[in-house]
Amino acid sequence: MDHSKQIQEIASRLFAENKIDYFVGYRQNSFDDTQVPFLITDPAEIPKLVFTERSVFNLSNYLKPDHTKRKRVGLVVKGCDSRALNLMLTESQVKRENVYIIGICCEGVLNEKGEKAQNCVECVMPDPVVYDEILGTASGKREYIVNADIKELAQKALTERADYFENIFENCIRCNACRHSCPLCYCAKCCIDQETSTLYHGANTSSAGMHALMTWSLHLAGRCVDCRNCEKACPSHLPLHLLHKQNEMVIYENFQQHLAGMEKDDRGAFYKYSLSDPDDFIL
């Protein structure tokens, strides 16, 4: 999966036709074979653009105003990234005419050990769901699978699960890298930081970290696309996907097999209501 040449050609064309102000892609890291996000405004830097199975990050995150100031952006997205972008479009964070989307039919990216990443093994939609131009061959939607660790966690008793999460999230240092790396965490001021949200105030205790993460995961429930940008950004290497995947599983089972960002104008399971909704899980 190497689309570097094609991406460079498209970027040159977009700059030449004055269709974009920014182009967001990947470039090779200077000290090893990993890649980093690469935001360019100068066409001279186009030759540095690459795309391989090392292009792990979700670049939709760079459509937040901090980075590209709501200007016109050319953007490279994989299947999961495009689902996040779809939600950003639905939630009025990005204007469709302001973004030129190069969708990649993804064959899966590699983790740090050089193996196929876990979320790519479980991927339900490797093809871009929203794009202006598509690269690679589409392979279609796949079956939804839940990994054993999530199922095992769901089996645990409530208190046991609470202890488990409290234990592993004890190492949260509240740096908020997870929030900053998530394309769907775009609030002007996060509820966790607001003066009125006394629940998260006080010392940085272990449970404060857990509560903040739990709230964060609930705000992403039915919206998280499993790109795992947050896990890649976490300096404490917390298994944040455990929260998101649990939510995803519960929602898939109870909200008519809902998966986030698959369709245009789908705001997520919690934001739509139909008379035929099953409500057997409501007490």
Partner 1 sequence: MARVGVFVCFCGANIADFIDVPAVVEEAKKVKEVKVSVLYKYMCSDPGQQMIRDAIIQNRLTSVVVAACSPRMHEKTFRKALSDAGMNPYLLEVANIREHSSWVHQKDKKAATEKANDLIRMAIAKSIANEQLHEISVPVTKRALVIGGGIAGIQAALDIADARIPVTLVEKSPSIGGRMAQLDETFPTLDCSQCILTPKMVDVASHPYIELIPYAEVIELDGYVGNYKAKIKKKASYVNFDTCTGCGACTQKCPVKVPNEFNMNIDKRKAIYTPFPQAVPNKPVIDAEHCTMLLKGKCGICAKVCEKGSIDYKMVDEVIEREIGAVVVATGYDLWDPKPYEEYGVGRYKDIITSLEFERMVSASGPTNGVPLRPSDGKVPKNVVFIKCIGSRDEAKGIEYCSKICCMYTAKHAILLHHKVHDSHAYIFYMDIRAAGKGYEEFVKRAQVETAATYLRGRVSKIYKKGDKLMVRGEDAQIGQVVEVEADLVVLATAVIAPHENPALARLLGISYDKYGYLSEAHPKLRPVETAKAGIFLAGCTQAPKDIPDTVAQASACAAKVCGLFAGDTLKKDPMISTISNEFCSGCLNCVKVCPYQAIVTEEIPLGHGSKELRTVAKINEGVCQGCGSCVAICRSMAISLAGFTDPQIINEIVAI
Contact with partner 1 (CB under 8 A): which of 43, 173, 271, 277? 271
Q: Which of 191, 214, 250, 262 binds partner 1 (CB under 8 A)?
A: 191
User: Applying CB under 8 A, does 96 fall inside the site for partner 1?
Assistant: no
Q: Residue 228, interface with partner 1 (CB under 8 A)?
A: no
Is the distance from CB of 48 to CB of 8 less than 8 angstroms? no
Smaller CB distance to partner 1: residue 194 or 204?
Answer: 194
Task: Out of 1, 190, 214, 250, point to the residue binding partner 1 (CB under 8 A).
Answer: 190
The smaller minimum CB distance to partner 1, of residues 27 and 83, is found at 83
Q: At its nearest, how many Å lie between partner 1 and the CB of residue 91? A: 4
User: Is residue 239 within 8 Å of residue 168, measured between CB atoms?
Assistant: yes
Q: Which two tokens stand for residue 213?
A: 């993460």
Cβ closer to partner 1: 36 or 187? 187
Tokens of 130: 């929203």
Question: In terms of CB distance, is 154 or 187 closer to partner 1?
Answer: 187
HSE at residue 151, side-chain half, CA atoms within 13 A, is: 4
Find the shortest distance in angstroms from Cβ 136 to partner 1. 31
Contact 84, 225 (CB under 8 A): yes
Helix (H) or strand (E) holding 214: helix 206-219
Q: Which is nearer to partner 1, 155 or 198 (CB)?
A: 198
Q: 41, 197, 207, 257: which one contacts partner 1 (CB under 8 A)?
A: 197
If one asks whether residue 244 binds partner 1 (CB under 8 A), the answer comes out as no
Q: Is 198 in the site for partner 1 (CB under 8 A)?
A: yes
CA 229 to chain centre: 6
Asked if 86 and 66 touch (Cβ cutoff 8 Å), the reply is: no
- Work out how close the CB of 21 gets to partner 1 at its nearest, in angstroms, rounded to a whole number: 12
* Cβ–Cβ < 8 Å for 18, 8: no
What string of H, E and C letters represents the secondary structure of 158-213? Answer: HHHHHHHHHHHHHHCCCCCHHHHHCCCCCCCCCHHHCCCCHHHCCCCCHHHHHHHH
In the complex, the smallest distance separating the C-beta of residue 90 from partner 1, rounded to whole angstroms, is 9
Choose which of 18, 30, 92, 159 interacts with partner 1 (CB under 8 A). Answer: 92
**Contact status: 48 vs partner 1 (CB under 8 A):** no
Residue 113's alpha-carbon distances to 33, 34, 55, 121, in angstroms, are 12, 11, 14, 15
Contacts with partner 1: how many residues (CB under 8 A)? 21
Neighbouring CB atoms inside 10 A of 122's CB total: 18
Residues 62-91 that bind partner 1 (CB under 8 A): 65, 69-70, 91
Per CB under 8 A, residues contacting partner 1 are: 65, 69-70, 91-93, 186-191, 194, 196-198, 219, 267, 270-272
